[in-house]
Structure 1
Amino acid sequence: MNTRIPARSEIKAGPMLNAYPDSIGGTLGDIIKFLQKPELENVFQSFYILPSLFNTDLDRGFSVIDYDLNELYASQADLEELNKLGIDLKFDFVLNHSSVLSPQFQDILKNGENSKFKDFFIDWNKFWNGYGQMTDEGYIQPDPEYIRDMFFRKPGLPILYVRMPDGKEVPYWNTFYQKVKYPNIDAQDLIRAMDIQYALADKLAETVNKAVSEGEKPSAIDFGKFNRYKENVIDMLESRRKYLGQMDLNIKSPLVWEYYEDTLKKLAGYGAKIIRLDAFAYAAKEPGAKNF
């Protein structure tokens, strides 16, 4: 639990230092030593610390797992030192999305429909139900009149398929980065999962790992003489699927607003005087309306 830093009443006008916590020397502590130099006294009135200050995984900090301090770069003591220097702090709060490694999304991966966070992110098919047609691939293609004014950052629809504990594939809204990874398998994995001899399992694992490393999706792998094992191997690979990415939050969920409130309180506790709302324009979504 962090100690709340006393807030000062006014935001001072003057130059603002913008930096990632590892921009000078490698840690926030190194930046503080820089700011403590006599020749820099009263030079900067505020400090915009970019979001790798927090527990993040991608996009130079803009894919937030949670807003705990990143122990590699910063500590509560560092923030207290900045407060002693009289420097106002500015932080980012990412409104539109959270990392797939966030506790909320990980709870969905673990508990599926039984997760308390099942509506925390945007289930693509629930969002578009009644506004399009279901495709053979399992997602709803919105009718043109409902999607023509929407802005998408990347080609195609912003969907990431997520496998639930029961094996069901659910498309989630994913505006920004996404990546699906399949861990390597070995002969022992295959032997535990199916009736197969070791030598065959060893060769099959080699074939599968090579295909996956070259970017093949499990369903597209040419199993050749191992075709009788195809269904079991695909199921194994998909059940072990790992994700990287930033999942869009469902701002119609009360839990999201609780998350917003809790996060703002945490940032205030760090001594924030200014909060930059990142990606907020993407957060509001309605069929047929502009989303940016």
Structure 2
Amino acid sequence: MNTAAVYHRADRSMAYAVAKDQMQIRIKTAKNDVSQVKLIHGDPYDWSKEKWNKHEKSMNYKGSDQLHDYWEVHIEPPYHRLRYGFILSNKKQTVFYGEKSFHQQAPEDIGEYFCLPYMNQSDIFTSPKWVHDTVWYQIFPERFANGDSSLNPPGTIPWAIEEPKRDSFFGGDLQGVIDHLDYLQDLGITGIYFTPLFEASSNHKYDTIDYFEIDQHFGDKEKLKELIRECKKRNIRVMLDAVFNHSGFFFPPFQDVLEKGENSRYKDWFHIWDFPVQTTPEPNYDTFAFTYMMPKLNTEHPEVKNYLLEAARYWAREFEIDGWRLDVANEVDHAFWREFREEVKKINPDLYILGEVWHDSIPWLRGDQFDAVMNYPFTTNALQLIAKRTISVQTFIENMTRVQYMYPEPVNKAAFNLIGSHDTPRILTECGNNQQRVKQILTVLLTYYGTPCIYYGDEVGLTGGMDPGCRKCMEWNEENQDQDVLNYTKKLISLRKNEPLLANDGDLSFYHISENSLVMKRESHDEAVLILINLSDKKDTLKIPYRVNKRKTIDLMTEEAHKWKKGKIKLQPQEIKMIKIF
């Protein structure tokens, strides 16, 4: 047995409470090395006749990545304390694995076992339950709809008559969003994620000038309140975007520093290396990336912290927003985010806190900072498999298994899944203008656990490369919209709402049956849904290793009964099927 590959930590990623009386334990072993894992567990104070009373439960094999097998078990200990270890077996060897070392058999000394001292209620990771059932729609306000031309900035270009440039303005505003809320409701959207609305000089508004004002070209505070009221009528949540890592160049405190140098009372609000301050040829202060127009804020400074926290409180308190999306969240200190969470949750315990982090995010997902991060590993793998065809089905499954077991189950249910955004090329462009591939990638997005987000216009076939190409004006002329993809998106959203197994109920797993087709399974105790996607231009026949017994089967896409012939399912080239078993 390759004991060097066995890995477990008694932390919130591999041993944690999922409910008041339920624990989830995970372990990983070398791929194809261990055939059985049993959990030995018990309360450290439960003894009889000088012998520790321990219990045994088999763990479930959950999947593999390129290097490891993953095992998991749920237990419901009678008390709120736990000592535990693992019995690992293969054809050649059986060993015990505990906190300190490996043994030939389970030791009597409980000091050799992993320890969870107490399952404190406050340590259980929780996120707003409404998020688990939300389908988001990301709006880049400057490009969604021009509803009030009186707000147009100087040099505004008539809607969509040319390709966008980095400094283009087309006049999108809040009234334009209000005018199209019925469209979003008909699509099935239940949450809007707005990129920044606050006063700024750019079209993207990630260079904030005033954290307490709506940008004049979008409208005013009363218009935002009207928008939120209209959203609530339609059961649509609203999430705003905040940039607390850096300000804009024209942020008054930074302008004061540029003017007064070392004599400015704001000089410590930023990370300035020396004086006088210079912007060219290179800035002598920390910035977002190397952009002199975006000076990094010193969030450890008490005045900066208080200013930004009050901005977070203000919009949550006065406008009753439902969420904050936090830009460049990984570059802000953890202490700030802990206080941020405490402050906004006082106002609204159900407010969703979403961080922009592109890498392993467990340091922010321990229950004291964010409810979720943007799930870019999901994005990358889905694009590589379906849009670009640069990885195999097996590699996709292995990659997604690793992502799935990177975070605890409660974290995964709130994960913000996306396939495109204002920072990435358009999905149709990524798919080489192949409409069916767009449908396939939308299928994966809208049948995966977590909370999915559609970038405005992807559902009607907008194209474009990286910024600024991905920030085209929304297409409102129905004759120019891809009505086929639009209706397909509506169908998927409707299925997700009506079939809990396509959202966050039950387990998710993969079948590696064919290199031509992706097969996902969503399953609860008495129901299952199979999602089958033929990625190739050839027919594929899949033999599904799943027993239906006397249960019924239905094709959710056609709503017709499906004949289950010993699990053999035929797929036409590029076909998508969803088979419900109940």
**1:27 pairs with 160, 169, 173, which one?**
173
Contact 1:117 1:255 in 2 (8 A): no
Contact 1:11 1:273 in 2 (8 A): no
Structure 1 equivalent of residue 297 of structure 2:
249
**1:118 pairs with 253, 262, 267, which one?**
267
Cα–Cα, structure 1 residues 21 and 271, in superposed 2: closer, same or farther, change >3 Å?
farther
| Percent identity of paired positions between Structure 1 and Structure 2 | 26
Amino acid at match of 1:63: D
Structure 2 equivalent of residue 96 of structure 1:
245
- 1:99 deviation in Å? 1.0
SS of the counterpart of 2:228?
helix
Cα–Cα, structure 1 residues 161 and 83, in superposed 2: closer, same or farther, change >3 Å?
same
Structure 1 equivalent of residue 444 of structure 2:
none
Amino acid at match of 2:139: A
Structure 2 equivalent of residue 267 of structure 1:
315
* Structure with larger Rg: 2
- 1:112 deviation in Å? 2.2
Instruction: Please list every run of 5 or more consecutive structure 2 residues that lacks an aligned counterpart in the other structure.
Output: 1-127, 146-171, 335-358, 360-582
Contact 1:123 1:170 in 2 (8 A): no
Distance in 1 between the 2:290 and 2:314 partners? 26
**1:174 pairs with 287, 297, 300, which one?**
287
Cα–Cα, structure 1 residues 81 and 170, in superposed 2: closer, same or farther, change >3 Å?
closer
Distance in 2 between the 1:59 and 1:24 partners? 12
Q: Deviations over 1:259-292 (max 9, x none)?
A: 221210232123321111111212349xxxxxx9
Contact 1:46 1:90 in 2 (8 A): yes
**2:223 pairs with 78, 81, 104, which one?**
78
Structure 1 equivalent of residue 51 of structure 2:
none
The structure in which a higher percent of residues are helix is 1
Instruction: Please list every run of 5 or more consecutive structure 1 residues that lacks an aligned counterpart in the other structure.
Output: 1-8, 126-137, 140-159, 164-168, 180-244, 286-291
Contact 1:11 1:88 in 2 (8 A): no
Q: Does 1:36 align with 2:182?
A: yes
Structure 1 equivalent of residue 209 of structure 2:
65
Distance in 2 between the 1:282 and 1:257 partners? 15
**1:55 pairs with 170, 179, 199, which one?**
199
Contact 2:244 2:327 in 1 (8 A): yes
SS of the counterpart of 2:238?
strand
Distance in 2 between the 1:93 and 1:29 partners? 21
Distance in 1 between the 2:315 and 2:144 partners? 23
- 1:119 deviation in Å? 0.2
**Alignment RMSD:** 3.2
Structure 2 equivalent of residue 278 of structure 1:
327
The 5 A counterparts of 1:87-166 are 87-125=236-274, 161-162=278-279
Structure 1 equivalent of residue 486 of structure 2:
none
- 1:34 deviation in Å? 0.8
Amino acid at match of 2:278: Y
Q: Deviations over 1:227-259 (max 9, x none)?
A: xxxxxxxxxxxxxxxxxx100111221111112
Cα–Cα, structure 1 residues 95 and 81, in superposed 2: closer, same or farther, change >3 Å?
same
Q: Deviations over 1:84-121 (max 9, x none)?
A: 23122111111211112101101112222222211000
SS of the counterpart of 1:18?
strand
Contact 1:98 1:248 in 2 (8 A): yes
TM-score by length of 2: 0.27
Contact 2:300 2:333 in 1 (8 A): no
